A and B are shown apart, each in its own frame.
Chain A
Amino acid sequence: MATRATATAPAITVDERRRWARRLGDRLSTWSMTLPAVALLIVFFLVPIYYIARFSLGLDRFAQNEAAAELTGEFADFTTKLWADFLGPGVNIGILGLTAFHFPTWLIGVVFVLLVLGAVFGTKLRRRGGWIAVACFALLLTPFLTIPAGNHLIRVAELSSEGDRLRLFFRSITMATTSSVWAVLIAFPVAYFLAFGLKKSKLTWLLVIIAPFLTSYLLRIFAWKVILGDQGLINTALVEVGVRDPDHPLSFLIYSQFTVILVLLYAWVPFIVLPIFIALENMDRRLLEAGTDLGASRLATFRKVTLPIAAPGVVAAFLFVFIPSMGEYITPSLVGGTNGFMFGQAIALQFVGGTLNWQTGSVLAVFLLAVVLFLTFTTSKFLRQGGGATA
């Protein structure tokens, strides 16, 4: 288009004028096509987020007069006290529940940022960077790694805090991580079987696996509530068989961290199969044959060839689940009870629940948003890899 324009005669011809008109028309139509969506998102998305930030700094408040503000405990002017209340108490790192070290929150924040940045830029430095990334993520996650065992979660290491809300945040991260890690562990063999074990109708089976993910989220939680409740199917079945008596149901099945983790896992696991499957499906099969031809065992081939190639897909899958799980609100409020209470609920409660302090709620919301955005942007490489393959 541009080259043709320069090739024409310098005098302005009728043809030239017409071309200019069309270009102007193009530009106008381009903007008129873009504007509706952009305007909608500015007014109903960016502006509201700006208002949350204002609330979190005491610049806006819900209360309409002094008396009401006295009641809700809101500030009338710019203040950083709300942030200090939230982040001030600092962080304790406990190991196997025995010793605890105290750190200021900002230090933990800096370490967290450096770890994530290291994980992302580690991949650019070396050829085997994929593994460095995975190692960094693993390092990032070990403090939260837990093993569900009946009523308890055994913590390898634990982040905690004297501050109630910060502690709640760490607990929510722990729960989100646990369910995401288990989801990946369950999804990997399924994806592996789909990619390598099936010769035909792979896509149909994939659709069979993904379809539940696309049906109602709320109703899938409902189904678990029906199954796990004190009067639910598992407990009544146990009574029926005679293993438990009706007065002592297995109470950890509902309203506990275990339930929240199980239901989150169940809700996301179909979706997580997808990026792993795509990573495995797209790999060059000849590499595997080369591995065996050179005398490697199946296990060695899997470890040295398959796993490194699948690693970005696995990381993408993990992030796909982990990021939304952090702010989860519906699942814990339906099956979590007081034990399974999560950060997302704490935010909501400040706005519609009993406590009602919009400024405090805004601090929590801005914090959650910042963490999520940071994770998303730094790991967008992985996300795009998985997401691009999905689309």
Chain B
Amino acid sequence: MRRGDTTDVTMSRNGRRLLVLFFGAFLVFLYLPTVMLTVFSFNDSTVVAFPFSSFTTRWYEAAFENVEIRKAFWASIRVAGGTAIVATALAVLVSYALARRRLRLKGVISALVLFPLVVPTVVLGIALLILFRPNGPVIPIPLGLWAVLIGHVVFALPFCILLLLPRIASIDRRIEEAAFDLGASWFATFRRILLPLITPALISSLLIAFVISIDEVVIASFLVQDQVTYPVYLYSGLRISGQTQLLMPIATVMIVVSFLLVLAAEFIRRYGERRLGVAK
């Protein structure tokens, strides 16, 4: 091992030290801002400033008692939950068709479903604002949370498909063929064979769509009417300074929650891969 180090072709010993230092500095750069935010959300002072005066949870109490924040939060949860379910359901169906069926216009359809990925969210937001505007073209949906939900489904769909499509394609075709040969209908095969096999990917798709929606502010800011979603509330709060102390506790909670959700999604995905590996 020692000797292997001296003949390492990728970096010299000093180069390695430098890289370790750089890597450490990078991690500090990456995590310091959020750590600071967390620490100062417990600071007993009306301005966010050094030095740290004393520990308090009063900002947390104030934030959780704030009716507006609570309403915005629940609006976001509803929209995100809806987005997760609708986007994942649509993504499963279309991924299955793309992965397994002979389909005319396959290229066009897969390009279409991934298209929203490259459209700037500002453009998507105003496009939907034009569609849902009062006295606009005949879409019987007014601006509001339903419009936000639709926008988020369009936005999250490609991400769900990118998660689900490779998973479905990687399942051994012969399992399904065996089921067909034993007389199962396509629906039964779908439900009894495919769904159990893609459950982990399905769960991470739900989580990703949820996280995308609950964090999305651009599309939402164009489409909300009187009931704002949580990120929109936060966004408008951040534009008016002075309110920051009240926003910090929720920011902290949100960071921790979305962090945990993402980690959960990742572990479920890895677990699923291991299980599929065993199945093969």
Q: Which residues of A are at the interface with B, using a C-beta cutoff of 8 A?
A: 25-26, 29-30, 33-34, 36-38, 40-41, 43-49, 51-52, 55, 60, 62, 64, 186, 189-190, 192-194, 196-197, 207-209, 211-212, 214-227, 229, 231-233, 236-237, 240, 266, 269-270, 288-289, 291-292, 298, 301-302, 306, 323-324, 326-327, 329-330, 333-334, 344, 347-348, 351-352, 358, 361-362, 365, 368-369, 372-373, 376, 387, 391
Known contacts A26-B186, A233-B40, A327-B121: A351-B239 contact under CB 8 Å: no
Q: Top 3 nearest A-B pairs by Cβ distance?
A: A327-B120, A48-B127, A223-B33
- Check B48 against A233 for contact (C-beta < 8 Å): yes
- Check A51 against B115 for contact (C-beta < 8 Å): no
Provide the bound-state CA to CA distance between A295 and B33, in Å: 45
- Check B50 against A233 for contact (C-beta < 8 Å): yes
Residues of A within 8 A of B93 (CB): 33-34, 36-37
Closest chain B residue to A388 by CB distance?
B166
Q: Identify which of A34, A222, A358 contacts B94 (C-beta below 8 A).
A: A34
- Check A41 against B238 for contact (C-beta < 8 Å): no
Residues of A within 8 A of B195 (CB): none
Residues of B within 8 A of A214 (CB): 211, 258-259, 262
Q: Does B247 contact A (CB under 8 A)?
A: yes
Residues of A within 8 A of B90 (CB): 36-37, 40
- Check B9 against A327 for contact (C-beta < 8 Å): no
Residues of A within 8 A of B97 (CB): 30, 33-34
- Check B30 against A33 for contact (C-beta < 8 Å): no
Provide the bound-state CA to CA distance between A55 and B129, in Å: 12
Closest chain B residue to A212 by CB distance?
B30
Residues of B within 8 A of A40 (CB): 90, 150, 153-154, 157
Q: Identify which of A194, A288, A323, A365 contacts B118 (C-beta below 8 A).
A: A323
Residues of B within 8 A of A221 (CB): 238
B interface residues, how many (CB within 8 angstroms): 93
Q: Identify which of B116, B186, B263 contacts A45 (C-beta below 8 A).
A: B116
Provide the bound-state CA to CA distance between A373 and B118, in Å: 7
- Check A368 against B150 for contact (C-beta < 8 Å): no
- Check A218 against B48 for contact (C-beta < 8 Å): no
Q: Mark B118-134, 1 if CB is under 8 A from A, else 0.
A: 11111111111111010
- Check A344 against B130 for contact (C-beta < 8 Å): no
Provide the bound-state CA to CA distance between A21 and B165, in Å: 27
Q: Identify which of A37, A190, A301, A368 contacts B123 (C-beta below 8 A).
A: A368
Which segment, of B19-27, B55-63, B67-75, B77-85, faces chain A? B19-27
Q: Does B218 contact A (CB under 8 A)?
A: yes
Residues of A within 8 A of B186 (CB): 25-26, 29
Main secondary structure of the interface of B (DSSP, over half): helix
Closest chain B residue to A335 by CB distance?
B238
Closest chain B residue to A301 by CB distance?
B9
- Check A215 against B255 for contact (C-beta < 8 Å): yes
Known contacts A33-B93, A55-B130: A365-B123 contact under CB 8 Å: yes
Known contacts A36-B93, A266-B33, A334-B238; 11 additional CB pairs below 8 A are A25-B186, A30-B102, A44-B131, A196-B11, A218-B234, A226-B244, A231-B49, A266-B30, A301-B9, A376-B118, A391-B163
Q: Which of A60, A301, A327 has its CB near the most chain B CB atoms (within 10 A)? A: A327
Q: Does B178 contact A (CB under 8 A)?
A: no
Q: Does B16 contact A (CB under 8 A)?
A: yes
Provide the bound-state CA to CA distance between A301 and B11, in Å: 10
Q: Which of B126, B241, B258 has its CB near the most chain A CB atoms (within 10 A)? A: B126
Closest chain A residue to B150 by CB distance?
A44
Q: Does B51 contact A (CB under 8 A)?
A: yes
Q: Identify which of B9, B20, B135 contacts A288 (C-beta below 8 A).
A: B9
Q: Does B175 contact A (CB under 8 A)?
A: no
Residues of B within 8 A of A347 (CB): 122-123, 126
- Check B251 against A222 for contact (C-beta < 8 Å): yes
Listed A/B pairs (15) with beta-carbon separation below 8 Å: A38-B94, A41-B113, A46-B112, A55-B130, A197-B23, A214-B258, A223-B33, A223-B36, A223-B37, A225-B244, A237-B50, A330-B217, A351-B222, A365-B123, A369-B123
